[in-house]
Structure 1
Amino acid sequence: MSLLFKHFRIHQIFGANTDVGKTILTTALVRATGPFQDADDEHIRRHCGAPQDKVHTDCLYRFHVPVSPHLAAQIAAGGEADKIVPDDTFLNSISSYVRRSASRVSGPAHMYLETAGGVHSPTLSGVTQLECYRPLFLPTILVGDSRLGGISATISAYESLLLRGYIIDAILLFRDQYYRNSEFLMPYFAERGIEVTAVDAPPPKAVDAAENLASTERYYESLNLLPVVQNLDMRHQQRLAELDSMPRRSIDTLWWPFVQHGLVKSEKDVTVIDSASSDFFSVYNAQNAGRSVSSLEAQFDGSASWWTQALGHAHPALTLAAARASGRYGHVMFPQATHAPALLLAERLLHDGPGKDWASRVFFSDDGSTAMEVALKMALRAFSVREQLEGTERKALGVLGIKGSYHGDTIGAMDACAEEGVFTCEWHNAKGYWFDPPTVSIQEGCAIVTLPPALAAVAAKDDYRMNTTNSMSWVYDLTGRLDSPLAQVYREYISHTLDGLEHSGGPRLAALVLEPLVMGSGGMIFVDPLFQRILVDVVRERDPAPSKLTGDWRGLPVIYDEVFVGLYRLGMQSTIPFLGAAPDISVHAKILTGGLVPLAVTLASDSIFRAFHSTEKAEALLHGHSYTAHPLGCEVANEALKLIEKEVRSEPWATAKARWDLDGTPSVMWSLWDPRFVRALSCLENVTEVMALGTVLSIKVNDVQAGYISQSAQTLLQSIRIHDHDTESFASGGVPQFSVHFRTLGNVAYFMTSLNTAPETIRTAEDKIWKALEIKCLAE
């Protein structure tokens, strides 16, 4: 919803406190360009010093009781909360007014959006102004406080603005001969690159109205804020020039991840993100720079910024948590030390989080890939200790997994994946064996379990699919399926394969590594959960008794890579209760910090920990990172988990779950995406299959060259990246019009919401996806 126009400069005016002179100084800024008698807009209209057809003033919401806006709104509504103007309606009114104003001007013009009270004064709904106005992301002028305590109030207001990402272009305040606040504030802010301008205070209000009008006019004539206006104009042009130059500079300078630069044909292919708020990027469109539409456009973050976003961008509680830890700790050493954010997070993860009832230790690292490196070290060491392996025997160990898995881009994590994957490098050396998995999907409105050729042969099927007329709820009912004929097929196939591997001469398997339920980067592969559960069971049953050396784990140490699927990405805190089998090691990242800062954890059972426990230093887990247990990450994670737990008990989640209870009984399989939409997509001719779980929607399109290098999904859905300026500024329900930023995995397009994405936003995204695919179908 951010707004930026080439010939129409807009600044928002915040006050360090109430009654600091915002309206008077706003009037002075307007003049520098060339019973409502006390209303702010009336004062500006009266004293702006310009023809009425050149200056327009409006007060969008006016209340007659001189109290805080939220109280005035409550009084006006008679105490009925549903009659109070909600924040989205309030912002939509402002945005629409700004857009209409921009469309009326043909040359350079200015607009000032004056707020009420101080930066933390509440809006009509009771939310502070700083948070309410943040989606607009307008450059800001701060009016400082010249009174006693004003230095503190001004700096506090400035830091509050800064913590929420606002651009502060100028600070204005009255000059006071007694307190002389400006003399301190000028050098203070000069060090921060912000110019402070102090002006004389207005004369006392005269009793006689005519004299008051005349004295006020003389006061305005004595002021000269033209240098301030020129500075604001310069900063506006600098911002436009910076945004305009970023695509070319980026092409010439950056090496992007997972991007073939040879396919970046022009500067138009570069997404310039000016800011982000909630579920939206604010992206710069240079083609709009000379038009009466905003150069900044709302774009839905359709991949949740590579699966990290949980609560939306720039969440104020997470930002303040990071600042809190930064101010208290910065970063501190962690080996044989502790601090409250790390300790509290570890306890939360073990007692109330994904480690509940099975894990005893938390190891901190930087991201999912490094956390998987830690997990592999733990598992291989535990296996080596139990088997009493030495030297070269330890070097030859491999892992058991599933084809299509991906655990990160570090070398060890890559070696734990099959050779045919594209995420490899020259040193990549796949070590182990990977099963070709049965998958789950919705095709032509039906729930289908698709068997790979090897399994289909065991099942004595003529084709490679096992169709079921049961619902998707049946597919994810593991308790009901554990004794099914297909479960026996899986069990026999896995056992027979493992028997053969023991005599094949390949690497000795030392760990089972799984991405539970969904293998993300491999192509959003929804694995039949029954297969994964049987795989864990068979591996453990082959070693009926725990070893005295290793304690509880049997067969092979089991690692769950829950970096993508964990912490409610799929609608559940962890896949462990769903699968009914706890791992020995699990890995978590991404959503862990709500997407704000990188942090990862590797959880381990006590038996895994004991494999490293001795009095010999060389037998310790000699692994670590300079920023291990970074206090900022830990503090943000604690705050994020608290907010997430509240979110998953919210009304939108309950409503979404109920929508997926298709047969009238509660379903463990559900999604924030509408089930009718999902089924309808699966019936389109250009769609092979669709799946949805939790926040995730996956669409596989028809393509004879299927796979990661395919461009088919990108091409088919390209239209949803384009902002539609021919529609109204806002869709139904107060949702701003937006385009959709999305990523593809070859012929698979996936979309992801935050945990708190508004249902109206999801419905709008569904409409855009549907129209793009349906139009292509009709064209073909």
Structure 2
Amino acid sequence: MAQYGAALYRKFQVYQVFGANTNVGKTIFSTLFSRAASRNQGERSWYLKPVSTGPLDDADVRHIGRYAPGVQTQNFYQFENPVSPHLAAQVEVPNESLLEKTASQIHTNAQNGPGFMIVETAGGPHSPGPSGTSQADLYRPLRLPILLIADSHLGGISTSISAYESLKIRGYDIDGIALFKEDVYQNADYLQQYFHESKVPLLSVEQPPPAIKPSSADQAAMSTYYSSVSESPSVTSFMSTLTDRHLQRIDRIENMAASAYSRMWWPFAQHRELSPQSLNTIDSAYGDYFQTYQKPKARKQDGTESLLRPTVDGSASWWTQGLGHGNPDLMLSAAHAAGRYGHVMFASGVHEPAMELADRLISTVNNPRLNRVFFSDNGSTAMEVGLKMALKAACERYGFSPSKDQVDILGFKNSYHGDTIGSMDMSEPSVYNEKVPWYRGKGFWFDCPSVKMRQGKWVIEKPEEQRAGLGKPSTFGSLQDIYSAERDSSADAEFYKTYITSTLERLTQKEKRKFGALVLEPVILGAGGMVLADPLFQRVLVNVIRSSSHLFSASVDSKASSASVTTDPFDWAGLPIVADEVFTGLYRLGHPNACELLHFQPDISAHAKLLTGGLLPLSITAASESVYNAFLSDSKVDALLHGHSYTAHAVGCAVANTSLQQLADIDASGKWDAFKSDWSGSTSILGQLKTAFSDIAKSKPTLLKPDGTPQIELQVWSQWSQKFVEDLSNHTQRVESVWALGSVLAISLKDGSGKGGYTSNVAHGLREALYEGVDGWNIHSRVLGNVLYLMTSQVAQEQDVRRWEKRVRTALGV
């Protein structure tokens, strides 16, 4: 979705008129409002009907022009047939075109100084626009305040309330409701009471006179009607209330940052570095954009520029956003589940959304090792649950004493698994945990080689302790080559195997340490610095561990050692492998699960963030049957005693089902083909073969080896273009390295001070340059020390991503 700024001007009021139904008087009320604004407030008035149907002589713009002569009328598309706009249209009118024209016209009118504008829709909220999209969804990116014209006819109470709820659930502000008076049904009296608690002002006026002939007499009667009603006290008061609400909205937005600064405590922030001016006030969000308050220094001071501007959600709202803000399908799923269940406790129970989600998640990740799902609320908790599962299984198999033995984990440096105490203990000492009194860091962390593009070449950079055995960094012609299983027979693979084996032997045999799990972020180590891990190192580590049960059971008796031998290909071996896919899973990297790219399947995996498309907090820890069996006994103390009040809350589960279905539909639809083609070179025979194999691999079920690993090599691709990534990597004046995979882009900047990592400030300048913006829009981004990362949603359009790339180029001077 291209960027469209929500229109909010200090001295220019603009409203969208929706009708509860057809034939409720939208144009008559638009005429009344426009006349009243011009007469009572002395403002210029505009009327826009983007799409109009019916004969030109009966067009709404002509009605306005006849009875509100001071109002400037505008119309983009006029279709002759008086039917639904999508049927009247002779050619399809794209939503983008209609929205762009509407937003541009609003902005143009606002440049003329103080004024009042009506944008009138056609039909009811769900009457389709020319493209067939419901108008309530079609115009949502603009999020104009709504004047709802209620239905005064028989049955109008129901249609009016339904229209109100449809608009509210989509995030619209309804600033006023209006309808005609009538004595038979008395809809106005009922609706006045119904909307009293919502504090939405309701205006009821006399109905216009019935049509008479000749036309001159009819026009004279209507002129008298408009003159009388538009100057009535009720209309004057209604218009005054609209102005008050308009100014109150501006006041709330302008003062929100200062009020928040005095009472809020933000995550991951040193508050001495914050100020009200540095806070980002978000008025609304839709698609890939926030609508943010544009501070005075960033806009004109004459009132002709909107106080809001579109801001690209460049962090995907902390990695959660995948299906666009304001996604109507997710909203309706949430509303339905809230209405059906609210929240119901899950202990020893089940409900349909949870049952469906359990099946869907297992099917989506397509890992035959995983058979059980445990619900929790966020990624950190999901990982803590996974750790409990793994350690218990290892202790049971190897005879470790949970109360007496120190049982550690194996992991990676630069890892991050969350901020609960147990999740912190899975990571090495870092800026995230070094000041936390309870942190103990119970593990050993391998230093993983990393993948980067530097000066147009893909390289694998080894840690210093590994360089002596491998020499200079390995270089590759493409990112796909780095993920190829052909590397399993390379010199790198042999060195990794030897290095890992000798390290494990030292830890377990010489140092006598006990380990209960391998915990890893597959493919990308996220918050630790956006490190793109060498997939071969992660794969070899898993393979070595799974073939080394003797190392982990060496310090216990032979009975425990023999118990570690299993003939089940899906049973865990060596140590349970715990994959933290909270960030990288569920299509973040273009595939259902990140471990597919590494050619192994974990025994336990944690999923969150994209699980609900960014709408609600929910997480799942999936585990194998062999891990699950470790908790079975006759004593409750042996159970997995973990949970929280909102375990498997029905609203979150329902949204997650819709989210996973939409992600799967996108994957199968070919909507990512343009991105994939850019990275596959599909014009070549080899590229076409790779694309064909990728299509086979993503079909269900995936072709698997007996141990559950995929037989087909998956395509590696990104929504960020290859040329863009290459150009950034060649900007050696500022860029140390760059990489892109799936929806993620990470730019490592050179820091001349010698500081690196999380405490570096070198990326702040680039972040501020992107946020400053030009041409009325900007980009919100996050930094991790010297690394600035950007993330698209999974529904981002190619033209939008390319526009964002251009803005990054400008900010970097590329």
TM-score if structure 1 supplies the norm length?
Answer: 0.93
1:62 to 43, 60, 78: 78
In 1, the alpha carbon distance for the partners of 2:28 and 2:563 equals 80
1:683 aligns with 2:730: yes
Inter-CA distance 506–369: structure 2 relative to 1 (3 Å threshold)? farther
Q: Which amino acid aligns with 2:800?
A: T
C-alpha separation in 2, matches of 1:376 and 1:426: 21
Aligned pair 1:102/2:106, yes or no? Answer: no
Q: How much has 1:592 moved relative to structure 2?
A: 0.4
Query: Deviation per CA, 1:303-326, whole angstroms, max 9, x where unpaired?
Result: 101111111101000000000100
Aligned to 1:407: 417
> 1:355·1:603 contact (CA, 8 Å) conserved in 2?
no
8 Å CA contact retained: 2:398, 2:564 = no
What corresponds to 1:547 in structure 2?
Answer: 563
The Cα of 1:505 is off from its aligned counterpart by: 3.9
The answer to whether the Cα contact below 8 Å between 2:93 and 2:130 also exists between their aligned partners in 1 is yes
Q: Does 1:360 align with 2:407?
A: no
> Is 1:653 paired with 2:672?
yes
| Residue 20 (str. 1) matches residue 27 (str. 2) | no
- Cα separation, 1, equivalents of 2:57 and 2:562: 85
The 5 Å alignment of 1:571-720 reads: 571-662=590-681, 664-665=686-687, 666=690, 668-685=715-732, 686-703=734-751, 704-720=754-770
CA offsets per residue over residues 545-599 of structure 1, 9 Å max, x none? 8737987211111100000110010111112333222111100000000010010
Alignment of 1:413-492 (within 5 A): 413-424=423-434, 425-459=436-470, 461=471, 465-477=472-484, 479-492=485-498
**Contact 2:469–2:495 (Cα < 8 Å) also in 1:** yes
The answer (yes or no) to whether the contact 1:334–1:629 under 8 Å persists in 2 is: yes
How many aligned positions are there?
742
Match of 1:778 in 2: none
Q: Aligned partners of 1:470 and 1:219: how far apart in 2? A: 76
Q: Which shifted more, 187-196 or 359-368?
A: 187-196
Change (3 A) 1:177 1:515: same
- CA distance, structure 2, for counterparts of residue 36 and residue 391 of structure 1: 82
- Which of residues 78, 94, 115 in structure 2 aligns to 1:86? 94
Q: How does 1:491-510 map to 2 (within 5 A)?
A: 491-505=497-511, 507-510=513-516
- 3-state SS of paired residue (2:572): coil
Give 5+ residue unaligned stretches, structure 1.
78-83, 726-736, 776-780
The one-letter amino acid paired with 2:33 is: L
**In structure 2, distance between residues paired with 1:490 and 1:577:** 20
**TM-align CA RMSD:** 1.6
CA–CA distance in structure 2, aligned partners of residues 391 and 676 of structure 1: 53
User: Out of 64, 72, 80, which is 2:88 matched to?
Assistant: 72
Structure 1 stretch 577-586 or stretch 482-491: which is displaced more? 577-586
Asked if 1:560 corresponds to 2:571, the answer is no
For residue 47 of structure 1, what is the amino acid of its counterpart? Y
Letter in 1 for 2:654: E
Who is 2:803 aligned against?
764
- CA deviations 1:450-505 (Å, max 9, x no partner) are 1111111233x2xxx4232432221110x201111110100000011111111454
Unmatched tracts of structure 2, length 5 or more: 40-54, 551-560, 691-713
Indicate yes or no: 2:399 matched with 1:388: yes
In structure 2, C-alpha distance between the alignment counterparts of 1:294 and 1:575, rounded to whole Å: 42
Corresponding residue number in structure 2 for 1:747:
786
Which residue matches 1:247? 257
Deviation string, structure 1 residues 96-155 (Cα, Å, up to 9, x no partner): 1111100012xx321111111111111111101000000001000100000010000000
Whether the 8 Å CA contact 1:400–1:511 is kept in 2: the answer is yes
| Equivalent AA in structure 2 for residue 471 of structure 1 | S
Deviation (angstroms), 1:261: 1.5
Structure 1 contact 397–509 (Cα < 8 Å) conserved:
yes
Contact 1:29 1:226 in 2 (8 A): no
Give the stretch that moved more between structures: 433-442 or 449-458: 449-458
Aligned mate of 2:11, from 7, 26, 49: 7
Kept in 1, the 8 Å contact 2:565–2:573? The answer is: no
- How much has 1:64 moved relative to structure 2? 1.3
3-state secondary structure, aligned to 1:670: coil
Residues 321-358 of structure 1: per-residue CA shift (max 9 Å, x gap): 000100000000111100000001101122x2115311
Q: Which residue matches 1:143? A: 149
Percent identical residues: 43
CA distance in structure 2 between the partners assigned to 1:599 and 1:420 by the alignment: 27
Measure the CA separation in 2 of the matches of 1:199 and 1:565.
57
- Alpha-carbon separation, structure 2, partners of 1:286 and 1:10: 21
Aligned AA for 1:253? Answer: R
Aligned residue identity for 1:701: L
Q: CA deviation at 1:193?
A: 1.4
Conserved? CA contact 2:605–2:621, under 8 Å: yes
Report the secondary structure of 2:195's partner residue.
helix
Greater mean alpha carbon deviation, residues 383-392 or residues 676-685: 383-392
* SS across alignment from 1:712: coil
Contact in 2 for aligned 1:432/1:507 (Cα 8 Å): no
Give the AA of the match of 1:56.
Q
Q: Per-residue CA shift, 1:376-396, capped at 9, x if unaligned?
A: 1001111111122335334x1
Q: Distance in 1 between matches of 2:597 and 2:250?
A: 51
- 1:648 partner SS: helix
SS of the equivalent of 2:209 reads coil
Q: Which residue type is aligned with residue 730 of structure 2? A: C
Aligned to 2:221: 215
- For 2:371 and 2:26, locate their aligned partners in 1 and report how far apart those are by CA, in whole Å: 57
Q: Secondary structure in 1 aligned to 2:460?
A: strand
The reply to whether residue 260 of structure 1 matches residue 270 of structure 2 is: yes
- Matched with 2:554 is none
Q: Following superposition of structure 1 onto structure 2, how do residues 180-329 of structure 1 map, counting pairs within 5 Å?
A: 180-223=186-229, 224=232, 225-264=235-274, 266-287=275-296, 288=299, 290-329=302-341
Would the aligned equivalents of 1:283 and 1:297 in 2 still touch at CA under 8 Å? yes
| Amino acid in structure 1 at the alignment position of 2:722 | P
The one-letter code of the counterpart of 2:282 is I
1:717: how far off? Answer: 4.0
The whole-number CA distance in structure 2 between the counterparts of 1:313 and 1:711 is 30
Q: Distance in 2 between matches of 1:441 and 1:548?
A: 39
In the TM superposition, what is the alpha-carbon distance from 1:506 to its structure 2 partner? Answer: 6.6
Give the structure 2 partner of residue 723 of structure 1: 773
CA drift of 1:90 comes to 0.4
Q: State the distance in 1 between where 2:653 and 2:450 align.
A: 36
| Residues 158-190 of structure 1: CA deviation (Å, up to 9, x unaligned) | 000011000001110011111111111111000
SS in 1 for 2:262: helix
Q: Which amino acid aligns with 1:255?
A: W
Is the CA contact 2:483–2:598 (under 8 Å) kept in the aligned structure 1?
Answer: no
- Deviation at residue 263 of structure 1 after TM alignment: 1.4
- What's the secondary structure of 1:442's corresponding residue? strand
What does residue range 331-370 of structure 1 map to in structure 2 within 5 Å? 331-350=343-362, 352-370=363-381
- Counterpart secondary structure, 2:76: coil
The letter for the 2-side match of 1:321 is S
